[in-house]
Structure 1
Amino acid sequence: MNSHHADHGAEIEAAIDVALPALGLDVKAKLVAGQGMWSLPALPEIGLRSLVMSDGPIGVRGVRWTAADPSIALPSPTAMAATWDPGLIRRAGRLLAQEARRKGVHVLLAPTVNLHRSPLGGRHFECYSEDPFLTGAIGTGYVRGVQEGGVGTTVKHFVANDAETDRFTVDNLVDERTLRELYLTPFEMIVAGAKPWGVMAAYNSVNGPTMTEHDELQNGVLRGEWGFDGAIVSDWFATRSTTGAIDGGLDVAMPGPHTVYGEALAAAVRAGEVEESTVDEAVRRVLRLAARTGVWDRVAPAVAADELPAPLDGVAMARELAGRAFVLLRNRDEVLPLDAARHGTVALIGAAARDARVLGGGSVQVFPEHVVSPLEGLRAALPEGALTYRIGADPTDELSVAGNGFELRAVCRDAEGTVLGEDTLPHGMVQWFGTDLPDGVTLDRLHSVEITGRFTPRESGLHSFGTKGLGAFTLSVDGTVLFDGVAVADGLDPFEAFFAAPAERAKAELVAGKTVEVGLIYTVPDLTGAPVASISCALVHREPQLDADELIEEAVAAASVSDAAIVVVATTERVESEGFDRADLRLPGRQDELVQRVAAVNPRTIVVVNAGSPVEMPWRDEVAAVMLSWFPGQEGGSALADVLLGDTEPGGRLPTTWPVRLDDAPVTQVRPRDGKLSYDEGVFIGYRAWQRGDAEPAYWFGHGLGYTEWSYEDARVVGPDTVDGDGRVMVTVHNSGIRDGREVVQVYASRPDSAVDRPHRWLAGFATVKCAAGARATVEITLPRRVFAHWDGEWAVEAGEFELHIGRSVADGRLVRTVTP
């Protein structure tokens, strides 16, 4: 913890010792329960203000899930991990803390440090890596940065929340060695290296107990073994039992006001089912969190105002981070970087080039003030007339939230039709929680919300209109009612209203440039007894569907007469999102066909993959270059232009192994059987499993190319200096190319004669190094003793020598040395 005076921790505990005895049971039970969707109650009698939490990992939404309150949108967590640079991510964390303070947020619900157990995991993009060591290192940088900015974190989701199917009820069966060596390791590293102020308990169960009640893992391991002194917060709607949760170590039940804590917790104490001292310990940890974040007036915050980091430029940070994260997988004949003056014309192709997907679906979603698409970025960077654009193939036929061409507002009415209040809408979605309503509007009087305004089409033809959300809707376009009906839930997920697919309701023939009136009336359902009173509805739209064959032909024709072709392919929100797992790894729509057709007529075809997690690329050997842009955040288009034109080197390396096809992937089972999901593969996920199989991946963990060449000249092992100390390896590299560059030096351990069933190689250390053309640099990489240990009821290190393989990926050991840890 970054404190402006050495005894800050003692001051907090002393203040708690004074305050706690003065609080009655009902007050204490209330304090550990959410008062609404995002906050804990204030206790003015002790100078405690309300503590506010907010999603998410790539930006700070604030308490309003709306584009009316814009946020900086950084690249996806997979992109952050692709930088292999904890220091850079620490700076990103400081920016997020700055954003949180601007929005009045005290605790960020991030980072997500679950592992890429399978490429089918729906929130794969929201997690860092398949490797626990890389995940822990990046997560440590993130937490340090955020908390240096005086804002708390809740490292999530503790633990083994690695898939979305039946996430509320699944019991994940994980043996102890696997749990310790893989899934617990990132949390343990972050607790040790960053001292997080919070951890979030997952929805799922692990080996029986649900995680919000898991005494062994929360009280025994997290607090007892690791010394975690922060607060454990439930995932939203995860808690099931008052006694189970409080005795199992859960401090805060979110959201409120209807939770298993509050009145229910006070009643359980009075009934003799829960010890009041157990409640006191939870309250102590909540007060500790409040003190650290500066919402308790009796104690100075952990980071004083004069200790806060210098302000950061969010737009510049988003652009830098995106460029550093791009992974160049293939670069035949050094087609990249492009020389605009020499190469002349460029054909840019793909729906995602115009309408970029900059973030994944679900709770990571924020609303940036602006988004730079690849089309905008390249138009700004290339000479006038050099760029042509064609759609080529649209990855989705779904409707999306009304945006381009719409001017909308939300009008709130009571049952008699009287207007209670209004709100501006930057797009066609309304998402209000609890009392987060427009001025003058109260839940008890709110009867309907009307999204109303005007639409000026870009294209003539049949436009599709529809709804998103659950409840009764009346949809009208140009004065005609097109739909009047009710949308009902299909599943049990309480977030279905937010994450479910939009529904097409009707079509209307419209003329380009001719403005029409549009309206969607949403009748608010009875919210009595709802866990959180939420209003969620959206007007959705799709432009006229053009002939798919013609679109591809137009793109191929443009590519055939251009000096280079850039094809941007992408997944959609129906492919990568919270709430469901993936069914396959194929690009949606006819994008594979598009790439193959373009590559057939232009040998200088460059494919940019706009996806947060692996996709199959059957054309990868047919194109000149393949670049991963991940979900690149709001400045993705500018960063892409920087990298493609050589102003920035692609700095990323793969944080997860990419298969040729799904059938080759070692772990594909993400759907429970009879409520249980068995991690039968044990410690062999990701590259650890690929090394044991017959199939070769498309690209190995750690792979990534730059725009220069590197020679690995020497490596020298130093230490460890003590029996239990860490070792070091000094690696000298030579930038033998003609451009300045950045390299990620990777060190993998192996034990060929091990008596333990181990991976062939596993990540032991890494470091980034920047070097001028022709220059040499020596980088020092720490080798923690723990990376050599295995779990056998306790951590043990086999006696004898381990090999170190030093190179550019797990499959590229250019230098080999030995170490005796």
Structure 2
Amino acid sequence: MEDNNTIIEKLSLEDKIKIVTGKEFWYTHPLEKFGLKSILLTDGPSGIRKQNEGADALGLTDSVETIGFPSLALIASSFDKTLANQYGRLLGDIANSEGVNVLLGPGINIKRSPLGGRNFEYMSEDPLVAGALASEYVKGVQSKGVGTSVKHFAANNRENQRFTSSSNVEDRALREIYLSAFEKVVKSAQPATVMSSYNLLNGTAVSENKWLLTDVLRNEWGFKGTVVSDWSAVKNRVPSLKAGLNLEMPGKDEYTTAEIKKAIADGDLEEGVLDQSVDRVLSLIKNYQNEQDTGSYDKDEYHEFAREIAGKSMILLKNENETLPIKPEESIGVIGALAQNPRHQGGGSSKVNPYKVTTPLHALRQGMNCNYAEGYKIDEINTDESLFSEAVKTAENNAHVVLFLGYPENYETEGLDKENLNLPENQRALLEAVAEVNRNVTVVLQNGGIVLAPWADKVSAIVETYLPGEAGGEALADILTGRVNPSGRLAETVPKRIEDVPSYLSFNQSKQEENYYEGIYVGYRYYDTKKIPVQYPFGHGLSYTTFEYNHLNIEQKEDVFEISCDVKNTGSYDGDEVVQLYVGNKTSDIDMPSKELRAFERVSLKQGETQTVTVKIPFDSLRWYNSRTQKWQIDDGEYEMYVGRSIEDIRLTQEFKLERNLGTELEWIHQDTYVSEIVENQDMFEEALQKHGIDQLIKATNDDEGLAALFENMPIRSLIMVGLKTENLNRFIEDANEIIKNQK
């Protein structure tokens, strides 16, 4: 096959434009004379959503039958990098079987607000969790010769007015929170494509944002793939080409062709810029043309894997008095419409046509004595008195109630944000009534995003299943009966009140502007630092067994810290533990969260077994973004390591120092540099201080306790008031900066 440059030289202008423009909604244009076929891009974060031949353009109502896997919100709760990779490989196999070349996923936008309507499709409020798991997902899919599209780049954290609103984020928060997961995936997994989002970023449309798509993504991070637009995200094609957006989907046909031709004719667009995008799309087509014959896959086998993923990810939020697992002799009252008609997936572009949905009620009835009552209508908010009465009677007549609650599909879907985090009125009323007549109540939640739980103290146990996929019923039965020991952890915080959410005052307050006033204090970074009580903290998840942590050890290696500790299963069940390592920065001269997740590791332990868990935290993990210098910064000094089961359940702590001896980290000296900074580095500047008579002035002020405290908090130009001449100050600054220059 000819190389890209040779192909480009032989293409007409119109052919070049076709290559960078989508065809028939889901395809790229072919170049048959060069042996290049169209490739198919298809939705797929929770399974393959490929439209059937002749179906509507979106394929929402008529897509091929496939496996409905759990939502990414649930999969992320596994905190299992190996599982994420395995899931990716199976998605790749299914994509190959269906003739899909590029899978549009994973979604890794940060869950800035729990009201986000698409949160079920995203992983976490923490960029480390999202970045680490998404990297493995991408590696898994692409190991099968299928491309991925990491989305939605970037700061696409709300659904309302997503096409036109501007996400206004200051530099530090943008870098540390909203771009960090994307950076991790690009550098460690090199996805085939990155999908640009609909929104504006700080006033510039992402699809036309050269700083984001070229300066950062390509030049800084080293992205080698293709930038593809979200569907219909491109408003002006010429500026988007200049910015580095390579493939417009689904394209505007003749309109796009005319726009680009005119721009080239008028000299507004160099043809070389177009050629650059053609080159990148050609590489995408070459790399991911599927030459294999499409075949079949064992749907029953893959259904079982969907069951395994869900079982490893469901979260036991509460288990008072060891209510769970259910005892074999207990009669079970199963209550709630969601037990019979479960919500197993989210709405919008991630919605698949599932192979085999197993309901929780059906799964629980396999070997258990279950009595069912519908209780409520899932798509209504008013109480149905007949269903209500039947449910209360069922609760009275059974030893253990399993109550299914959750959001209707119209509460959360792509394109709309939620208005509140409360369960529907009829479900809340039913919970109150059931809890009045039976204290042995297990609530099972089905929801894309988190649910407020002011009712938590009225029930004995709570299991969070998010949207668990087509095998969610079987996975839940495994958890409730003890066949599987729950091990999922919250990848987002459940607050007590919506008013406590850090973005509460600004989220969706304006149709045009989304202002990220909370900065870096997103999710647990805010609650933990401000010591605001929450319902369930980040990283929380119970087990049927117990774990003990001992012997924390921290060693500084060449460019990493190696941290180890012993974890012992001290209970009566085999189980998986998620060891979480948080770091507190005690040294940098800027506000910092109390703790930030810097590593996590999932381990399996038999009863009584002890394992030494060892992880490495690169020095880069301790960096922070300095908005003044526009650079990442790592500071030598004091830090604290926190190891535990959640952000609140810390089992081991230890102080440690970062000592690299890299010379000065001082910025350039200027008139507003504080006297205290000069005093802290007096040895470095000793000769210059003596030369210009400043050493004596500093000594005189230091000898006077009142003046010492005053001048430490004043800039060096303030020394003029105690006799320093302006010319001496300016010469000292020149000499001091020369010293810094020589040490850099």
Asked if these proteins are the same fold (TM beyond 0.5), I'd say yes
User: Cα–Cα, structure 1 residues 226 and 395, in superposed 2: closer, same or farther, change >3 Å?
Assistant: same
Deviation sequence 1:241-296 (CA, Å, 0-9, x none) = 1221100111011113537643432332233211111111101111111121125x
Q: Is the Cα–Cα contact under 8 Å of residues 327 and 627 in structure 1 kept in the other structure? A: yes
Residue 212 of structure 2 corresponds to: 217
Where do residues 193-342 of structure 1 align in structure 2 (5 Å cutoff)?
Answer: 193-258=188-253, 261-294=256-289, 313-340=301-328, 342=329
Aligned partner of 2:478 among 642, 649, 671: 642
User: Cα–Cα, structure 1 residues 370 and 677, in superposed 2: closer, same or farther, change >3 Å?
Assistant: same
**Residue 118 of structure 2 is aligned to residue 102 of structure 1:** no
Comparing both structures, which one devotes a greater share of its residues to strand?
Answer: 1
Q: Is the Cα–Cα contact under 8 Å of residues 239 and 260 in structure 1 kept in the other structure? A: no
Residue 397 of structure 1 corresponds to: 380
Q: Is the Cα–Cα contact under 8 Å of residues 396 and 588 in structure 1 kept in the other structure? A: no
Equivalent-residue separation in structure 1 for 2:311 and 2:595 (angstroms) = 29
Residue 631 of structure 2 corresponds to: 794
Identity of aligned residues (%): 37
SS of the residue 1:153 aligns to? strand
Paired residues in the alignment total 646
Residue 815 of structure 1 corresponds to: 652
Residue 348 of structure 2 corresponds to: 362
Which letter maps to 2:585?
R
Aligned partner of 1:748 among 568, 579, 582: 582
Q: Is the Cα–Cα contact under 8 Å of residues 38 and 53 in structure 1 kept in the other structure? A: yes
Q: Is the Cα–Cα contact under 8 Å of residues 51 and 64 in structure 2 kept in the other structure? A: no
Aligned partner of 1:188 among 183, 187, 199: 183
SS of the residue 1:89 aligns to? helix
Which letter maps to 2:336?
G
Which letter maps to 2:346?
G
Equivalent-residue separation in structure 2 for 1:55 and 1:562 (angstroms) = 44
Moved >6 Å (runs of 4+): 309-312
Deviation sequence 1:2-25 (CA, Å, 0-9, x none) = xxxxxxxxxx9x721332211121
Residue 602 of structure 1 corresponds to: 438
Equivalent-residue separation in structure 1 for 2:375 and 2:8 (angstroms) = 65
Residue 715 of structure 1 corresponds to: 552
| Alpha-carbon distance, 1:590 to partner | 1.3
Residue 402 of structure 2 corresponds to: 566
Equivalent-residue separation in structure 1 for 2:216 and 2:122 (angstroms) = 22
| Alpha-carbon distance, 1:88 to partner | 0.2
Greater CA radius of gyration, 1 or 2?
Answer: 2
Q: Is the Cα–Cα contact under 8 Å of residues 323 and 642 in structure 1 kept in the other structure? A: yes
Where do residues 256-655 of structure 1 align in structure 2 (5 Å cutoff)?
Answer: 256-258=251-253, 261-294=256-289, 313-340=301-328, 342-343=329-330, 345-382=331-368, 386-397=369-380, 548-655=384-491
Which letter maps to 2:233?
A
**Residue 180 of structure 2 is aligned to residue 177 of structure 1:** no
Which letter maps to 2:9?
P
Residue 124 of structure 1 corresponds to: 119
Equivalent-residue separation in structure 2 for 1:685 and 1:592 (angstroms) = 29
Which letter maps to 2:610?
R
Single out whichever of 599-608 and 189-198 deviates more from structure 2: 599-608
Note the residue ranges of structure 2 that are not aligned, 5 or more in a row: 53-58, 659-744
TM-score normalised per structure 2: 0.84
| Alpha-carbon distance, 1:694 to partner | 5.3
Q: Is the Cα–Cα contact under 8 Å of residues 639 and 657 in structure 2 kept in the other structure? A: yes
**Residue 147 of structure 2 is aligned to residue 161 of structure 1:** no
Q: Is the Cα–Cα contact under 8 Å of residues 745 and 768 in structure 1 kept in the other structure? A: yes
Equivalent-residue separation in structure 2 for 1:684 and 1:395 (angstroms) = 35
Note the residue ranges of structure 1 that are not aligned, 5 or more in a row: 1-11, 296-300, 399-544
Q: Is the Cα–Cα contact under 8 Å of residues 713 and 732 in structure 1 kept in the other structure? A: yes
Deviation sequence 1:691-743 (CA, Å, 0-9, x none) = 23353110000000011000001221133x22xx2222112101000111100
**Residue 32 of structure 2 is aligned to residue 44 of structure 1:** yes
Residue 433 of structure 1 corresponds to: none
Which letter maps to 1:23?
L
SS of the residue 1:615 aligns to? coil
Residue 139 of structure 1 corresponds to: 134
Q: Is the Cα–Cα contact under 8 Å of residues 614 and 659 in structure 1 kept in the other structure? A: no
Q: Is the Cα–Cα contact under 8 Å of residues 503 and 517 in structure 2 kept in the other structure? A: no
**Residue 497 of structure 2 is aligned to residue 664 of structure 1:** no
Where do residues 56-67 of structure 1 align in structure 2 (5 Å cutoff)?
Answer: 56-64=44-52, 65=59, 66-67=61-62
| Alpha-carbon distance, 1:172 to partner | 1.0
Aligned partner of 2:593 among 759, 762, 765: 759
Deviation sequence 1:475-527 (CA, Å, 0-9, x none) = xxxxxxxxxxxxxxxxxxxxxxxxxxxxxxxxxxxxxxxxxxxxxxxxxxxxx
User: Cα–Cα, structure 1 residues 604 and 781, in superposed 2: closer, same or farther, change >3 Å?
Assistant: same
Q: Is the Cα–Cα contact under 8 Å of residues 587 and 639 in structure 2 kept in the other structure? A: no
Q: Is the Cα–Cα contact under 8 Å of residues 146 and 152 in structure 1 kept in the other structure? A: yes
| Alpha-carbon distance, 1:817 to partner | 2.0
Aligned partner of 1:805 among 615, 627, 642: 642
| Alpha-carbon distance, 1:360 to partner | 0.9
Equivalent-residue separation in structure 1 for 2:97 and 2:261 (angstroms) = 36
Deviation sequence 1:637-669 (CA, Å, 0-9, x none) = 000001100111112000000011212222223
TM-score normalised per structure 1: 0.76
| Alpha-carbon distance, 1:753 to partner | 4.8
Which letter maps to 2:528?
Q
Comparing both structures, which one devotes a greater share of its residues to helix?
Answer: 2
Residue 682 of structure 1 corresponds to: 519
Equivalent-residue separation in structure 2 for 1:655 and 1:694 (angstroms) = 19
Deviation sequence 1:369-407 (CA, Å, 0-9, x none) = 22111111111242xxx1010011223239xxxxxxxxx
Residue 430 of structure 1 corresponds to: none
| Alpha-carbon distance, 1:63 to partner | 3.2
